[in-house]
Chains A and B, each alone.
Chain A
Amino acid sequence: MTQVQPAHFTSAGGIGTRLSDILWRHPRLLIALLLLPPALWLGVIYLGSLFALLAQSFFSIDHFTGLVKYEFTLSTYAQLIRPSNFDIILRTVVMAFCVSLTSAVISFPIAYFAARYARGAWRAVFYLGIMMPLWSSYLVKIYAWKLILAKEGILTWALQKLHLEWVLDAFLALPVIGGNSLSVSTAGTFIVFVYVWLPFMILPIQAALERVPPSMLEASGDLGATPAQTFRHVLLPLALPGVVAGSIFTFSLTLGDYIIPQIIGTSRLFIGQAVYQHQGIAGNIPLAAAFAMVPIAIMGLYLWAAKRMGAFDAL
């Protein structure tokens, strides 16, 4: 603590002191002053842009002139349920669901070990082991998988050394998820999604598991439950809010991503890519805006359901 000298403070009278007295006597004024810049920034610029976007989705595009018609219509939303567009939405939601589920399965042992058994130096290893991939560059992570999944890459090489390349070939021959090589298949897109969002799932599960008292698991064992039963009836229900909280991230991030399927995947579109293409090359802002509302609506429903399950306490 620094030594404070009263003389130094009393000498600084004048306008500063008077202003400070006003702020001290009117805490509401202080709060208002503090909130003004962030409220202007987020409230006016950010929310304003979001509402402008929402408004655009109720306009439509004139197919002859290619210009936006500024008249209220729901026809743009009607276009979303056309088979070609609805397929995009369905594909993205199924992908988001599979990615969330797989991330949860892979995350659970890491989160459980970190929360319950990691002590001392291991605690630091796990903390940094989860944080470093979380904060590593998103594009570099995708690029790393492009290297791995490429036809001439390390995965094919490793499988050849193990004489297992027939497994990969059989897998790639599968319809829908297969393809020419893993880097141009839906399975590849899936792997990269899981990889990139994994830390976002681990952290909330770990937070939830850290709050489970070990005595509760011992009690379950003492009462005759097998480890599997303890997991099923004690640990999993207590960890579930964390899983749901993590899935909010994985679901939302998958719904909005357009870069991963563009770099590793097939030419079949996801919602993010549809938004990007309609606003860019096609210049159809209303349809892009309507597409952008889909993740917002789905996440709204998801958050509402998650809140009812108490998932926010685990954040």
Chain B
Amino acid sequence: MHSDRAPLTLKIAAAAGLLFMHLPILLIFAYAFTTEDQSFQWPPPGLTLKWFAVTWNRPDVWAALGLSLKVAAISTAMALVLGTFCAAAVSRSRFFGRETVSLMVILPIALPGVVTGIALRSAFSIAEIPFSTWTIVLGHATFCVVVVYNNAVARFRRTSGSLIEASMDLGANSFQTLRHVILPNIATALLVGGMLAFALSFDEVIVTTFTAGQQQTLPIWMLEELVRPRERPVTNVVAMIVVLVTLLPILGAYYLTRGTDQVAGQGK
């Protein structure tokens, strides 16, 4: 067993790196309680819970949150169907154009978001499709497919084909095999893929600015506040809540895939 100790400089560099990644996010929590409402003054002159109540009573925040949740739910559902189909086809056999399918799925996140955004926007204007919730969903589902696909493909690879054959030999037809054998086997992979797709959609802003028109998802609302600040303390509170909410799917995905060789979320 090889178990020497890490050199001190490596320990310090790694710890400093991790601190650099986490301290800025923690700072958000401090600012949510500040009494200062005009500048980003540090240290906060006083602490208050007032801004939580103000945020709670803001209809625009609720409307943006509602739209974000709706878009994320529909996009995730679509990505689950498309991603699982793709993964099933790719893992079942080697066929002509298999590599092309993998490339196609990865392309929407490999290309810069601004390219996807402007491509969809100009396609909408050529086809004269008015902006709606569905135009946002169209963009989101396109790049959410890949996270579902990555998780499902890894699971299909580890699911033995003999299970399916055994089910068929015992007299089950394809649909029964799907229902009783395949789905239980890939369920957690789909759950993880779905949670990550949801988180990806919930947070997306670059493509959304091109496909939303006048509608505001929560990230678009935040972006508006960053570019033209109206009420900074409300932004602080919303930012803190967003941090807390996005932690949940990540912790969930971690606990579900713990102990397996696949690493959830690597495909973002």
Query: Would A157 and B254 count as touching, CB distance under 8 A?
Result: no
Apart from A20-B175, A134-B265, A299-B110: 15 A-B pairs, beta carbons within 8 A: A9-B172, A16-B173, A49-B120, A53-B123, A109-B10, A133-B22, A140-B239, A144-B239, A145-B24, A146-B40, A148-B27, A152-B40, A215-B2, A218-B2, A276-B118
What residues of A have a CB within 8 angstroms of the CB of B176 in the complex?
9, 12, 20
B88 close to A41 (CB less than 8 A): no
Taking CB atoms and an 8 Å cut-off, the chain B residues in 133-190 that contact chain A are 138, 141-142, 145, 167-168, 170-176, 180, 184
* Interface 9-mer from A78-86, A166-174, A252-260: A252-260
Given contacts A133-B21, A152-B40, A259-B206, contact A41 B82 (CB under 8 A): yes
In the complex, which residues of chain B have a beta carbon less than 8 angstroms from the beta carbon of A150?
39-40
Say whether A52 contacts B122, CB under 8 Å. yes
A259 contacts B205, C-beta separation under 8 Å: yes
Contact call A292/B42, Cβ cutoff below 8 A: no
**Stretch from B11-19, B47-55, B59-67 that touches the partner:** B11-19
Write out, one digit per residue, whether chain A residues 4-34 have a CB within 8 A of any chain B CB (1) or not (0): 1010011010001101110110011011001
CA distance A144 to B85 in the complex (A): 39
Which of B24, B108, B196, B247 is in CB contact (< 8 Å) with A46? B108
Q: Does A214 contact B (CB under 8 A)?
A: yes
Q: What chain B residues lie within 8 Å of A198 (beta carbons)?
A: 17, 20-21
Chain A residues with CB under 8 Å of B219's CB are: 137-139
A residues in contact with B14, CB < 8 Å: 109-110, 112-114
A54 CB to closest chain B CB, in angstroms? Answer: 9
Task: Kindly list the 3 A-B residue pairs having the minimum CB-CB distance in the complex, ordered from nearest.
Answer: A256-B112, A109-B13, A20-B173
Whether the pair A141, B24 counts as a contact (CB closer than 8 A) is yes
- A237 interfacial by beta-carbon distance below 8 Å: no
Minimum CB distance partner of B26 in chain A:
A144
A153 touching B40 by the CB < 8 A rule? yes
5 A/B residue pairs, CB under 8 Å, sorted by A: A9-B176, A17-B173, A53-B118, A144-B25, A157-B43
Cα–Cα distance between A10 and B5 once the two chains are bound (Å): 62
Closest to B173 in A: A20
Residues of A within 8 A of B71 (CB): none
Assembled-state Cα–Cα distance A53/B43 (Å): 49
Q: Which residues of A contact B46 (CB under 8 A)?
A: none
How distant is the Cα of A116 from the Cα of B4 in the complex, in angstroms? Answer: 10
Q: Is the interface of B mostly helix, strand, loop or mixed?
A: helix
Which partner residue on chain B sits nearest A43 by CB separation? B104
* CB-based contact A279/B121 at 8 Å: yes
Q: Do A49 and B27 form a contact, CB below 8 Å, given A112-B10, A227-B7, A258-B114?
A: no
Q: How far is the CA of A150 from the CA of B236 in the complex (A)?
A: 15
Chain A 127-157 per-residue mask, 1 if CB under 8 angstroms from chain B, else 0:
1111111111111111111111010111001
Interface residues on B, range: 35 or more
Chain B residues with a Cβ under 8 A of chain A: 2-3, 5-7, 10-11, 13-14, 17-18, 20-22, 24-25, 27-28, 31, 39-43, 81-83, 85-86, 88-89, 92-93, 95, 101, 104-105, 107-108, 110-116, 118-123, 126, 138, 141-142, 145, 167-168, 170-176, 180, 184, 196, 199, 203, 205-206, 209-210, 219, 222-223, 226-227, 235, 239, 242-243, 246-247, 249-251, 254, 263, 265-266, 268
Residues of A within 8 A of B (CB): 2, 4, 6, 9-10, 12, 16-17, 19-21, 23-24, 27-28, 30-31, 34-35, 37-39, 41-43, 45-50, 52-53, 56, 106-107, 109-110, 112-114, 116-117, 119, 124, 126-148, 150, 152-154, 157, 195, 198-200, 203, 214-215, 218, 227, 252-253, 255-259, 262-263, 271-272, 275-276, 279, 285, 288-289, 292, 295-296, 299
Residue in B closest to A202 when the chains form the complex, CB atoms: B17
Contact A38 B122 (CB under 8 A): no
Q: Does B122 contact A289, Cβ atoms closer than 8 Å? A: yes
| In the bound complex, CA of A139 to CA of B20 (Å) | 17
Contact B199 A37, beta carbon cutoff 8 Å: no
The answer to whether A106 and B42 touch (CB under 8 A), given A45-B138, A148-B24, is: no
